[in-house]
Structure 1
């Protein structure tokens, strides 16, 4: 086995363990997160990544991390070269995905506006669409797509709000015998937009964090490959010790000659 710097070896091994943990976290995010609260009702079509993609990304990261950890621990040149190639390609892909997600995030409010505005007014929509909208309002505790006025006064019971549990407002409802109704103050589309932007921010953060980790992995793996190819030659700056640290301490006689005499 070729002798390499032990600190570099363990640093790269620990790095890949952390990298594998990141992959596990991404898989967990894919299990827990989704872009829409609707669970199929008014499903959002403008999403960047769904859960299957997160599973794939997390699994690939774990495989690459295991490859790097095994290559670093066993000082395998082939594994480290393959790991370096994966780091280069992975960093490029993560930068592209992060940039693409950032662009999609900036256009998301306009896309939501264009997607839901044609459905107005809600009291004149198709029966199935109305039922989906009422289920959405019940689940998300909202009223209307953009405002309670989307119902044009024919406000359904799914908009009703209890002052003990939610933020309510008093509105007039011409479709009811009651002169006033207490409905949810928030509309549904702003809530969907807020949660979608937050999830997009998570994706952007994950992609750019992975890109930075990839760059770090590239540096560490390049140094180790250099040592595996040139075991007797230290790596400049990072692995070599400055010459003045290797000099022996001055002897007592030399110090005594330097100190000026008091006579």
Structure 2
């Protein structure tokens, strides 16, 4: 008979196998994303280094958990529990950082500061992306149409049907500002709300992932501590988990 409860051991190994598969998929995704790393860096996206660390960390710790569960070795489970404790703290820190960053960005969009539009308007590729966004999202400018200066692009042109029947994402038309060149009617709505809507979705997903992994790490820590306790109790009772009566 094993040192650890059979159901607990199977459940522990099963979840580690699941996370090992997730780690493999994340490594595969990081490999695929590496082909576009230069393009992503050119538009200000973060480096893929942290994604590699995260993916390999999940894969390595999951493999350690599978080995610890199968071998029922006290040392391996203690190392796994240590990783779970550290991982829980790291995930909580990352989740808090993402939440704070989201609130800062939301405050920037709420105040509609002109500083918010500078990264878009100073980068030619970001300007091109904003120009395409205006056509699909029916908006003009990041903070206001004045982000384009005196030359308003044709993508800001508001069609008459949008002005008469404003709907989702369309707040109607307004006249071209005095002194500016471009279409006579432009979208009243700015693209800042649309951009933040997608950024907010990304931040919420990231917070869910980080806090979800923190809860998972806590459960893994508790289960591994319970398994360590069962091993110590088994070893302390002389190698038998159930005493046999003698007749």
Instruction: Tell whether the structures are fold-level matches, with TM greater than 0.5.
Output: yes
Quote the offset at 1:156 in angstroms: 1.6
Are residue 67 (structure 1) and residue 70 (structure 2) matched? no
- In structure 2, the residue matched to 1:16 is 16
Quote the offset at 1:152 in angstroms: 6.1
Unaligned runs of 5+ in 1: 33-37, 123-127, 241-263
- In structure 1, the residue matched to 2:132 is 139
Distance 1:108 1:224 in 2: 44
- In structure 2, the residue matched to 1:108 is 105
Quote the offset at 1:136 in angstroms: 2.8
Matched residue SS, 2:234: coil
Distance 1:26 1:135 in 2: 31
- In structure 2, the residue matched to 1:117 is 114
Distance 1:115 1:29 in 2: 36
Q: As a proportion of its length, which structure holds more helix?
A: 2
- Distance of aligned partners of 1:61 and 1:105 in 2 relative to their CA distance in 1, 3 Å threshold: same
Quote the offset at 1:64 in angstroms: 0.4
Are residue 129 (structure 1) and residue 115 (structure 2) matched? no
- In structure 1, the residue matched to 2:227 is 224
Q: TM-score, normalised by structure 2?
A: 0.69
- Distance of aligned partners of 1:41 and 1:190 in 2 relative to their CA distance in 1, 3 Å threshold: farther
- In structure 2, the residue matched to 1:188 is 191
Contact 1:137 1:159 in 2 (8 A): no
Quote the offset at 1:186 in angstroms: 3.9
Instruction: Encode CA deviations 1:126-185: one digit per residue, 9 max, x unaligned.
Output: xx8385564132232241121225446642223235669x8484333354586x33x445
Contact 1:160 1:184 in 2 (8 A): yes
Unaligned runs of 5+ in 2: 34-38, 163-168, 243-247
Matched residue SS, 1:171: strand
Distance 1:96 1:226 in 2: 29
Distance 2:209 2:116 in 1: 34
Q: TM-score, normalised by structure 1?
A: 0.66
Contact 1:24 1:62 in 2 (8 A): yes
Distance 2:70 2:20 in 1: 15
Q: CA RMSD in A?
A: 3.9
Matched residue SS, 2:173: strand
Distance 1:116 1:217 in 2: 45
Distance 1:63 1:130 in 2: 40
